[in-house]
């Protein structure tokens, strides 16, 4: 009788371990099936980047993405660290650094003509959209330089988890910043708030 119970216990244990391995997500991200989304897994950041034709007046850009809860890391394995927050940025990759970065930064910071009309919508459960933010951007605030790319701040108004839509209308056809050596993209990443 004891051997039978032991055998049943071993089989149930093996079956439970196998079931756990089978049901466990393939990564540490429990929302691996939602795409695209900015993500932060362990020490790695996975960002969203979509190319945009910034200086073709009349063009539009529409993009849908997810913001999902992130696993909270712990400081000294005891105290929970703050959750990362998504930031929407304009990324400019300068293939030819001969022109330098200061001229690009100055032109985008001191522009007098509207460059884009930016709209951020939250998609609700019933698939209706709620306008979160709308602004006409005349100039961009410089954010950072990383790996030869310039980043300019657009917004960080994503406060709830869920699905979002970005809509951008291009309002400017500035030839000075519409050069072959510059590529523009909308860049969404997770950053820890300080």
Full pLDDT tens readout for the chain, 194 residues = 888 888 898 888 888 877 776 666 556 666 767 777 766 665 667 788 888 887 778 888 898 888 877 666 666 555 666 666 788 888 888 765 555 556 777 777 777 788 888 999 999 989 899 999 899 888 788 888 877 788 888 888 778 888 899 999 988 877 666 666 778 888 888 765 54
Task: Return the H-helix or E-strand segment holding 66.
Answer: strand 60-67
143 lies in a domain?
yes
pLDDT, position 102: 63
**88 vs 5: CA distance, rounded Å:** 58
Q: DSSP 3-state assignment of 20?
A: helix
Relative to beta strand 149-155, strand 141-146 is antiparallel
98 lies in a domain?
yes
pLDDT, position 41: 60
9 lies in a domain?
no
Residue with tokens 């073709």: 56
155 lies in a domain?
yes
**73 vs 26: CA distance, rounded Å:** 19
CATH code of the domain covering residue 111: 2.60.120
Give the residue among 109, 93, 108, 122 at the shortest CA–CA distance from 180: 93
H-type helices in the chain, by residue range? 2-23, 102-109
175 lies in a domain?
yes
CA angle 68, 72, 17 (to 5 degrees): 85
3 lies in a domain?
no
78 lies in a domain?
yes
137 lies in a domain?
yes
pTM exceeds 0.95, yes or no: no
State which residues form the domain around 170. Answer: 27-192
> Total structural domains in the chain?
1
């Amino acid at each position: 009788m004891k051997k039978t119970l032991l055998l049943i216990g071993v089989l149930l244990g093996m079956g439970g371990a196998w079931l756990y391995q089978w049901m466990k997500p393939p990564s540490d991200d429990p929302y691996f099936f939602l795409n695209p989304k900015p993500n932060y897994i362990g020490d790695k950041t996975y960002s969203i980047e979509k190319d945009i034709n910034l200086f073709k007046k009349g063009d539009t850009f529409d993009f849908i993405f997810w913001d999902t809860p992130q696993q909270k890391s712990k400081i000294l394995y005891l105290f929970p660290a703050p959750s990362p927050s998504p930031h929407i940025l304009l990324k400019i990759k300068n293939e030819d650094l001969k022109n330098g970065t200061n001229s690009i930064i100055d032109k985008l910071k001191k522009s007098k003509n509207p460059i884009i009309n930016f709209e951020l919508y939250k998609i609700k459960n019933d698939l209706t959209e709620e306008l979160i933010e709308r602004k006409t951007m005349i100039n961009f605030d410089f954010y950072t330089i990383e790996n030869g790319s310039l980043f300019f701040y657009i917004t960080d108004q994503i406060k709830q988890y869920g699905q979002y839509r970005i809509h951008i209308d291009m309002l400017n056809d500035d030839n000075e910043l519409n050069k072959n050596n510059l590529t523009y993209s909308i860049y969404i990443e997770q950053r820890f708030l300080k």
